Amino acid sequence: MPRVVLIADDNADNILLIRRILRRSGMDLEIVEAHGGRDALQLATEKLPEIILLDMKMPDMDGYQAATAIKAGETTKNIPVIAVTAQAMMGDREKALEAGCSEYITKPVDAALLIETLKRFLNEGK
């Protein structure tokens, strides 16, 4: 049975890239796409993915707000949220972790790191 992964990013090219990386991982995954923070929050609640890959800079609701809301939800609070972001200035990692993210990966995405991180969190959830 496929593991459900939610990718949330307002840039379609970023979603496509992450989708391609995940397809090549060898894992049995069902990928759900959100194109903004509000969309991510709604889909997280509806689909209850096993992990969320969340961009931190989106126009409607940024990733920090979305992560905080996801972690505040009764049904979504235990879903690991991985920040996948170009926000790589000093303090950005800490800000993402404070918002409820479990891990922080910078763009451009290192495919091997993304796959290793995903496997680590999905295996912990078994």
Structure confidence at residue 110 (pLDDT): 97
> Which domains are assigned to the chain?
3-124 (3.40.50.2300)
Please classify residue 72 by burial: count the beta carbons closer than 10 Å to its beta carbon, then call 0-12 exposed, 13-18 middle and 19+ buried: exposed
pLDDT digits (tens, 9 = 90+) for 12-27: 999 999 999 999 999 9
The answer to whether residues 82 and 113 touch, using CB atoms and an 8 Å cutoff, is no
pLDDT digits (tens, 9 = 90+) for 74-99: 999 999 999 999 988 889 999 999 99
The answer to whether residues 86 and 58 touch, using CB atoms and an 8 Å cutoff, is no
Structure confidence at residue 7 (pLDDT): 98
Element (H, E) at 93: helix 92-98
